Amino acid sequence: MIRIENLHKRFDSLEVLKGVDLDIKQGEVIAVIGPSGTGKSTLLRCINYLEKPEKGIITIGDVSVDASKASKKAIHDLRMKTSMVFQSYNLFKNMTVLENVMKPMMIVRGVDRATAEKTAKELLEKVGLSDKLDQYPSKLSGGQQQRAGIARALAADPELMLFDEPTAALDPELVGEVLGIIRDLANNHRTMIIVSHEMRFVREAATRVIFMDEGKIIEEGTPEEIFDHPKHPRTIKFLNMFE
Amino acid sequence: MFELDFFIDLLFSLPKFIPVTLKLAFLSLMLSLSLAIVLAVIRHYEVPVLNTLTKVYISFFRSTPFISQLFLFYFGLARYVTFIRDMSSTFALVLILGLNTASFMCETIRGALLSVDKGQVEAGHSLGMTNLQIMWHVILPQAVKVAIPPLSNNFINLTKNTAMGFTVGIIDLMGKAKLEAANSFRFTESYLAVLIVYWVMIAAMTKVQSIIEEKLKNKY
Ligand SMILES: Nc1ncnc2c1ncn2[C@@H]1O[C@H](COP(=O)(O)OP(=O)(O)OP(=O)(O)O)[C@@H](O)[C@H]1O
Ligand SMILES: [Mg+2]
């Protein structure tokens, strides 16, 4: 059970999240759509405390963090339950693909080298990178880097995966290979939140679509409800841009 | 007249003192590098109080001549502090040269730490790594690569600065040349010989430096 209650975040005078509430069930694939600057990235970043919200409670399984009294330990526990896939991949440049996936397991959870290596190799096979294990990120295409990023996030064995526009920085011909992997994860009922502008993908892969505007959730529903029968005028206006 | 025999004799006897100079350089390097890393991390995380002290420290050592720092310490403070008075001149030189060079290296290392993009730090946090783990496993290895070329320049400057040791009575390359010159009054021969020895030695160090840089470049 994942619950976000009354989440508020501001940057100085700019109020970015104005009370976001969201309940997510195990296995749900939530897509967040909305205009630029609406706070979609900020929402994801607050969920694993890359940004510290001012107010609100985030609960994932047995970990609950209240922003007004968030301890270092609680934040760490929360981060252990989530993992993030970034638009700019953010692989560790001093580590090979294999090390990017196995080292965090060893460092953060104290997994022994042999086990970490075995798990990492399995995950990298899943994302089709078995032939790139010993390459450094600088030698990979964007699509390959992002697939490595997904394998690294999976290695943390998270209860919730967060994807912030995972294909936005990719050349068009590389988008498919990354979306394919995310779709596989969705089909296997991995719980996740995806911020994406790829409407076709959202429609196919999401179990629930959330439309955000100006720091609030304006409308939510199944992909059919949102895309075929949107109710709120702002949703209609936003979707019209994609026609 | 230029006394060629004297010059050649000295040219071949001076290298015996290279180990003294290198020992001074390496000891100061160890001290300055370890101190510089600590100071750079303090600056990087803007640790309260320590950050301000570090800034003052850096400003002082960068903005005053090394020779004045050495003299204040070795001749000035020694009058009031017993342990400085009892200190060997080698120890004093290594200490002040280490402190001095650290102020330059700190800024070099700080720049290198900043060169690692914030995205990687965020990735580390999102995976549950602590600041210290991110520093050790992600930032420092990349920063070292960036920092090595400027740090080896710092090291070469440091090696040349060891020549100041003669002013506190150390018999290194420069100290030996000074003695020979004073005893024989053959200043041109003595100082030309020592310059050539320094030149060859530093040129060799520069060569090693470029080999190391080439090796690092190909890694990632
Ligand atoms: N670190 C920050 N400091 C100040 N303002 C910020 C910061 N991060 C985001 N903002 C501002 O907060 C608002 C929301 O940003 P956010 O990145 O969450 O939008 P978004 O919905 O993800 O937009 P996009 O679709 O363009 O990615 C924007 O106005 C942005 O300029
Ligand atoms: Mg965004």
What are B27-40's pLDDT values in tens digits? Answer: 999 999 999 999 99
Burial of A71 (0-12, 13-18, 19+ CB in 10 A): exposed
Chain B residues in contact with A136 by the CB 8 A cut-off are 219-220
Instruction: Give A111-165 pLDDT, tens digit per residue.
Output: 999 999 999 999 999 999 999 999 999 999 999 999 999 999 999 999 999 999 9
Choosing among 3.30.70.20, 3.40.50.300, 3.30.2290.10, 1.10.3720.10, the CATH entry for B4-219 is 1.10.3720.10
For residues B191-213, average pLDDT? 93
Atom of ligand 1 nearest to the CA of A195: 22
Chain A residues in contact with B128 by the CB 8 A cut-off are 76, 79-80, 104, 108-109, 156
Q: For residues B115 and B146, is the Cβ–Cβ distance under 8 A? A: yes
pTM of the model: 0.83
pLDDT at residue B86 in the model? 83
Q: Please indicate whether residue A39, judged by its CB atom, sits closer than 6 Å to ligand 1.
A: yes
Instruction: Give B120-159 pLDDT, tens digit per residue.
Output: 999 999 999 999 999 999 999 999 889 988 999 999 999 9
pLDDT at residue B87 in the model? 86
Cα A233 to ligand 2 centre (Å): 22
Measured distance CA(B86)–CA(B94) in Å, rounded: 15
Task: Flag whether pLDDT at A1 surpasses 90.
Answer: no
Q: For residues A81 and A92, is the Cβ–Cβ distance under 8 A? A: no
Are A90 and B219 in contact (CB < 8 Å)? no
Instruction: Give A158-217 pLDDT, tens digit per residue.
Output: 999 999 999 999 999 999 999 999 999 999 999 999 999 999 999 999 999 999 999 999
CA-closest residue to ligand 1 atom 24: A36
Q: Which two tokens stand for residue A218?
A: 């304006």
Interface probe for A, chosen from B117, B121, B126 (most Cβ of A below 10 Å), is: B126
Identity at B219, one-letter amino acid code: K
Give residue for tokens 């979707």: A239
Are B127 and A82 in contact (CB < 8 Å)? no
CA–chain centroid gap for B48, Å, is 27
User: Torsions phi, psi of B30, nearest 5?
Assistant: -55, -50
Mutate-to-test residue for ligand 1 from A18, A42, A47, highest number of ligand atoms within 8 A of CB: A42
Q: Which residues pair with A219 in a beta bridge?
A: A211
